[in-house]
Structure 1
Amino acid sequence: MAGILRKIITLSNQYIEYVVAFTVIAVIGIIIIPMPAPLLDLLLVFNITLSVIMFLLTLFTKNVLEFSTFPTLLLITTMLRLSLNISSTRLILSEGYAGQVIDAFANFVTGNNYIVGAVIFIIIVIVQMIVVTSGASRVSEVSARFTLDAMPGKQMAIDADLNSGTITEAIAKKRRQDLQREASFYGAMDGASKFVKGDAIASIIITLINLVGGILIYGVQSGIGVVEALNVFGKLTIGDGLVSQIPSLLISVASGILVTRSDDGLDFGTSVVGELFGVSKAIMVAAVILLLIALVPAFPTLPFLIVALILGGLGYLLMENEKNENELAMTKVESQKETSNSGEREENIATYQVEPISLEIGYGLISLVDEGNDDNLINHITAIRRQCASEMGIMVNPIRIRDNLQLGPNEYTIKIKGNKVAGGELYTQRYLIIDPGNSDFELDGIPTKEPSFGLDALWIEEANREKADLKGYTIVEPVTVLVTHLKEVIKKNSAELLGRQEVKQLLEGIKERYNVVVDELIPDILSLGEVQKVLQNLLKENVPIYDLVTILEALADNGMMTKDIEVLTEQVRYTLRRTIVKNYLNRDGVLMVMTVHPDLEELIGNNIQKSMSGSIPVLQPDIIHKVFDNINHSINSLMINGIEPIILTSPKIRIAFRNLISFTFPNVPVLSLHEIPNDIEIEAVGQVEKL
């Protein structure tokens, strides 16, 4: 028997969608096909059962998403009631009998007075339409509005948790889906409540048709007296109305309970009992008040006295329970005080650690993180992290986005380890136009500087976008401006973002395939910190580290001979020479460089000293000033001709010369002859002199 049941359940699960489809079609078919009284009885019982189940489910659900199909079920059950109402009307008017269920309701509720039944029917309809359905519809409307208004803030909170590592991407995706489902649920409930109102009105009309039509048919055609016909059809009509309206009332109350629930993670019964009878003081005060009312001569003493005694006993039990819980809590706190305090200190320290990188935005830019927009900031940041991994070889930590009311509405700030490193201003309803060749714009707008590269730019309105396109300006959307700026900040500060933890993650990522070189290098030859410093030195000069295996092999080959980080970095650069040079070749594959005058090379080479910041030449200030002026003049000349400035030195002075000019000319690469492959053609287009 159990095996047969399992097979039936399995088959029903496989074909459930077809069963539901045929059931919905059958609900519509009931309107057309005449139903015999026994089958109508069965369907009426099914309707009552379904309404009871839906009512109970709303009491046991912990949040609205556990019963998200309720609005659709509300429509289907409404159609089922109307179909059954039409079928019962057909039986009442044609046969004067509509089955045992309707007859039982008519005799039980109305007794010998159908007017009483009519009054009860009207009261039920009024309660359902004016009180329950109208209230539930209004709550659904307001809830949907507030849910939609709160969506950007809730989405930002989810994204902040994701970027901080508190939740996984799968959990964040589920929370976003739940947020959208919740808004859709309240919107659907607002519309579904209108069906219940229409159902109540239709029930009144059908009831009147039953009453008037039955009297006319049997009073005029069959010759039965009007009073006798009214007595028969009055009871049947009221019974039919009650059979349809009681399930409707149950579902209406269920909808009201569902939309007014607060999402506290508990079912309705647990929440009500815990909150209504959870405060002993309130229960005791209520007991005293009822006891005083019982002593008033005009009021019945016994009912008030009984309830007062029950509440008093309940309040006393609650007070004793609270006292025991407080004693247990105090004992637990005292026994674990030292451990708890130390743990709390550790937790506080971890909680207030700054993020490696974060983005703060003004309230006017919150729309950029809207999940409903495919071109939102979150998707762009995810793409940035992938690009940084593929272009530079580093895994950027999750970028936390938070709103900052201290910023202007259109401002944003990029922070690294809690310190502001960049910022800017965006206009979400405008577009940024850039003209690399001329800053004299012929359009109206807000003048600004493109934040990534410092070019003159203009914020224009949507109406001027077509004109800007015709004039050949580069048009950039606000989110692209922010994303480009963020990417450049990450590239510029990539060395600072690469900590020991990040290096360990990189090594673990390749260890499965290249465990030999990793195990040989760390910790026998170099420590994790020494490897980190070499990688940071490479990133400082925009050398990608995505060929990590080659870097580690070079360190393993040279790490036994020296522990000097600068020397190790130069050895790695030599190994990566093709990777370094390929980004600086022109279209013809030629490396166009500025060379350093031999006298200046000799002067620098004879005056190199080690310092905390690395090797640096100790020269007279006037000589440094002349060298910088000469470099600046050469760079300007090359850029006018569209040539990227690159300085080529001997291997002996490359590090020192790079350290010398890095603060004044941070974007000028310095290469050594040692790093140029033999098959690369070199063309000298300038020379750095001391003058």
Structure 2
Amino acid sequence: MNAVSAMFQRVGLSQSGQLKVLAGPVLIIMILAMMVLPLPPFVLDMLFTFNIALSIMVLLVSMFTTKPLDFAAFPAVLLFSTLLRLSLNVASTRVVLLNGHNGGDAAGQVIEAFAEFLVGGNFAVGLVVFIILVVINFMVITKGAGRIAEVGARFVLDAMPGKQMAIDADLNAGLIDETQAKHRRSEVSQEADFYGSMDGASKFVRGDAIAGILIMVINIIGGLIVGVAQHGMDVGTAAHTYTLLTIGDGLVAQIPALVISTAAGVTVSRVNTEQDVGQQLLGQLFTNPQVLVLAAGVLGLLGIIPGMPNLVFLFFTALLGGLAWWLIRQKRAIEAEEASTVPTAAAATPEAGEASWDDVQLVDPLGLEVGHRLISLVDQQQDGELLRRIKSVRKKFAQEIGFLPPVVHIRDNLSFSPHHYRITLNGVMIGEGEAWPGQFLAIDPGQASGSLSGRETRDPAFGLPATWIDAEQRDQAQVQGYTVVDAGTVVATHLNHLLTHHSSDMLGRTETQKLLDRVKQDSPQLVDDVVPKLVSMTTLMRVLQHLLEEDVSIRDMRTILETIAEHAANTTDALELTAAVRLALGRAITQQHLPGNEPADVIGLDGQLEQMLMQAMSNGGGLEPGLAETLVHQADQAIANQESRGLPTVLVVQHALRPLLSRFLRRRLDRLVVLSQAEIPEERHIRVTAMIGGQR
């Protein structure tokens, strides 16, 4: 034993860890030993009692868990408990056949109690009760639980791609970090493993029920042979003695088996919520007073029919009616309390006083206004999930875009519809939508099959067709290929999309100065040489804003400042400096829109049209209306062609034309990205798969 302890200590296990590691092998060895070694009746009593206690504990654990993965060890527990019962059957059979002729207590007090007390010492009654228990266990509970586990395993496997897409969507939107994404992916994998294991483990229970019947028949026949042939008992006495002991033995095994099967059914049949089974039953079965009133009415009608058990029916009529009356009073009290908390117009109007500067309310840089049904999502006292998601959105924005966005000021607006929200920037609305707490938004990414019953709408962030569905339809939607997200994720994703789209509007002098202060910690001399010696703070801010307008990250501030320092001697124009900075950031810009190292399929510009545009630029005039309309139309067709083939919607043009076409086309076709040929690294090859202004 000391050698074993030393081995565990070498691998870094404590004493408690050693016991946990040894628990499984020791249990298996003990179970197998019971099949071989004879056990005295007292030890059998202890083990039978332990088996009953174990089954009760398993049932209670399955009742109090809120989701199947909280009891992920259940398939293994099912296997061990089945082996334990079979081992006890073998051990008790040995004792019954060896000592059964000595009397009812020869096989232990537990078997004797089940044989005498539960069935009154009548082996015929015991036989019927035993068969009924086996039928209930085998035909009803085990078969139903096995079918649920089988269907659940198939649904979970079918829903895995949709769940993985939802995790990737949350990760890309900044709602979760990489660690949380790994944890959620692990949960999805564990859920599939759990249902697959339960599908197989249910076969153990069915086999156990069949083995119970066969063991009972074998024990009765064997008891008759042993009693008559070896101990000289008459057939009637032998049949009574051994049959009663066999039935007691069978009941001792089948009752825990029935409890374990019930626990398996409870575990696989629950719907994932934040409540255990008891809370779900009470919260959904006895909360509708209309249902209780109707049920009380039906029982009352049955209770007044002559010949019926009137007292019992009228008792439950009064019980259900009283519960309905109490629920109605509670509901009215809650409504009255909510109504009393709404301030009246008179109370909300304070006594007029002298105006002061404190009455001047500055506009919030970034705001979120919500209807009263969404307050729970943003209330810190109610652990509002949207607050955590907004923090993650701001953190992800800062890491990817390169500066910290303003704090989101959240307030409720009683003038809104209950589920409405609005996102504002400098007091101006930039986005709005609706969210339904407690429901899920099933978004069709384009490959979903089938339809869903619910409130049809569109995803507020990207405009994709979507449907608000109840929680019960979530797994079905994921199986059909929908991306399913909750209400908090919908609002947070919309906010993330708007922050990225309006990043240039959020960058002001304050943010630019803080950004310079951050760069100055690592490169103080570079900052001092550029601002304000070469360019002003305003010029630098304009350059950064121009970059953000075209979705270029400003994280690489070192390269940006060095490029400005290099070209500031020739020009201080913000647009010309922006073009120079884009060339310096060309590799990163290309990688952002054309990831990978393979040849990129892009949109090209016809040579004749290119010359016309260059001539228009050299003359200092704008685009002619006819030419502009044709350009937009053909660009739209080229974008549709690229999207239908799953290719990037990137237009590559000469460096001198890029600013003009980017400003003109992006205002009308925000899906199009315009890159300069000079911005693409020399080693990166491109193929023109669509043409604007010509045929290909």
TM-score range for the pair, normalised by the shorter chain length:
0.5 to 0.7
Map 1:283-682; keep pairs closer than 5 Å: 283-332=292-341, 339-341=412-414, 344-347=420-423, 352=432, 362-363=446-447, 499=504, 513-514=522-523, 517=526, 521=531, 525-526=537-538, 529-533=541-545, 535=547, 548-553=557-562, 555=564, 563-566=572-575, 568-569=577-578, 617-618=619-620, 669=677
- Residues 99-178 of structure 1: pairs in structure 2 closer than 5 A: 99-178=108-187
Following the alignment from structure 1 to structure 2, what is the Cα–Cα distance between the partners of residues 579 and 299? 84
Aligned AA for 1:266? Answer: Q
> How far apart are residue 347 of structure 1 and its match?
5.0
One-letter amino acid of the counterpart of residue 79, structure 1: L
Match of 1:56 among 44, 55, 60: 60
- Mapped contact 1:500–1:528 kept (Cα < 8 A): no
Give the counterpart letter for 2:132 in structure 1. I
Contact 2:31 2:87 in 1 (8 A): yes
CA offsets 1:327-365 (integer angstroms, 9 cap, x no match): 223344567979433785435967659xxxxx9953189
* Aligned residue number for residue 46 of structure 2: 42
TM-score normalized by the length of structure 2 = 0.59
Greater mean deviation of Cα atoms: 115-124 or 290-299: 290-299
Q: Matched residue of 1:263: which SS?
A: coil
Per-residue deviation at 1:112?
Answer: 2.9
Aligned mates of 2:122, 2:582 — CA distance in 1: 102
**1:110-160 alpha-carbon deviations (Å, 9 max, x no partner):** 223111111111100000000101111111111222222222223223322
Q: Deviations over 1:230-279 (max 9, x none)?
A: 22212211110001000000000111111111112100111101111111
Residue of structure 2 equivalent to 1:185 = 194
The answer for the alignment partner of 1:19 in structure 2 is 23
**Identity rate of aligned residues, in percent?**
39
| Structure 1 unaligned residues grouped into runs of 5+ | 1-8, 354-358, 367-399, 406-494, 581-606, 610-614, 626-645, 648-653, 672-691
Shift in alpha-carbon separation, 1:667–1:209, aligned structure 2, 3 A = closer
Contact 2:655 2:677 in 1 (8 A): no
* SS of the residue 1:363 aligns to: coil
Higher mean C-alpha displacement, 503-512 vs 261-270 = 503-512
State the Cα distance separating 1:12 from its structure 2 match.
Answer: 2.6
How well do the aligned residues superpose, as a CA RMSD in angstroms?
4.7
Contact 1:361 1:402 in 2 (8 A): no
**C-alpha deviation, 1:553, in angstroms:** 4.5
Deviation by residue 1:199-246 (Cα, 9 ceiling, x = unmatched): 011111111222211121121211111211222212211110001000
- Residue 202 in structure 1 maps to residue 211 in structure 2: yes
**Secondary structure class of the residue paired with 1:15:** helix
Counterpart position of 1:433: none
What corresponds to 1:235 in structure 2? 244
2:537 alignment partner, SS class = coil
CA offset at residue 71 of structure 1?
Answer: 1.4
Select between 328-337 and 83-92 the one with higher mean Cα deviation.
Answer: 328-337
Selected match of 2:274 from 265, 274, 277: 265
1:517, 1:59 → 2: CA distance?
Answer: 65
Kindly provide the amino acid, as one letter, of the partner of residue 93 in structure 1: L
Other-structure match for 2:93 = 89
Change (3 A) 1:177 1:518: farther
Distance in 2, matches of 1:578 and 1:203, equals 72
Aligned to 1:110, the other structure's residue is in SS state coil
Q: Flag the structure with larger Rg.
A: 1
Following superposition, the deviation at residue 537 of structure 1 comes to: 10
- Separation in structure 1 between the aligned mates of residue 214 and residue 39 of structure 2, nearest angstrom: 21
Distance 1:274 1:364 in 2: 33
Structure 2 CA distance for partners of 1:51 and 1:510, relative to 1, 3 Å: farther
1:670 and 1:113, CA in 2 relative to 1: closer, same or farther beyond 3 A?
closer
Name the amino acid aligned to 1:40: L
Structure 2 distance, partners of 1:174, 1:249, is 35
Q: Are 2:37 and 1:33 aligned?
A: yes
Pairwise CA distance, 1:298? 1.3
C-alpha separation between the residues in 2 aligned to 1:196 and 1:53? 17
Name the TM-score, length of structure 1 as normaliser.
0.59
Distance 1:254 1:620 in 2: 77
Distance 1:657 1:227, change over 3 A: closer
Mapped to 2, the partners of 1:579 and 1:151 lie a distance apart of: 34
Change (3 A) 1:365 1:274: closer
Q: CA deviation at 1:305?
A: 1.5
| AA partner of residue 267 (structure 1) | D
Whether the aligned pair in 1 keeps the contact of 2:116 and 2:122 (CA below 8 Å) is no
Deviation at 1:13, TM superposition (A): 3.6
Deviation (angstroms), 1:667: 7.0
Could you give the per-residue CA deviations for residues 156-191 of structure 1, whole angstroms, max 9, x where no partner exists?
233223222233333333222222222222222121
CA distance in 1, matches of 2:572, 2:25: 75
State the number of aligned residues: 476
Residues 363-410 of structure 1 deviation map (CA, whole Å, 9 limit, x = unaligned) = 1899xxxxxxxxxxxxxxxxxxxxxxxxxxxxxxxxx999879xxxxx
2:491 alignment counterpart: none
Q: Answer yes or no: is the 8 Å Cα contact 2:539–2:572 preserved in 1.
A: no
> Which of residues 75, 81, 98 in structure 1 aligns to 2:79?
75
Change (3 A) 1:281 1:529: same
- In the alignment, the residues of structure 1 paired with residue 68 and residue 180 of structure 2 have an alpha-carbon distance, to the nearest angstrom, of 19
Structure-2 change in CA distance of 1:401 and 1:240 (3 Å): farther
Q: Any conservation in 2 of the 1:537–1:569 contact (CA below 8 Å)? A: no
Structure 2: how far apart are the matches of 1:213 and 1:71?
34
Change in 2 beyond 3 A, CA 1:513/1:365 = farther
Residue 563 of structure 1, CA deviation = 4.7
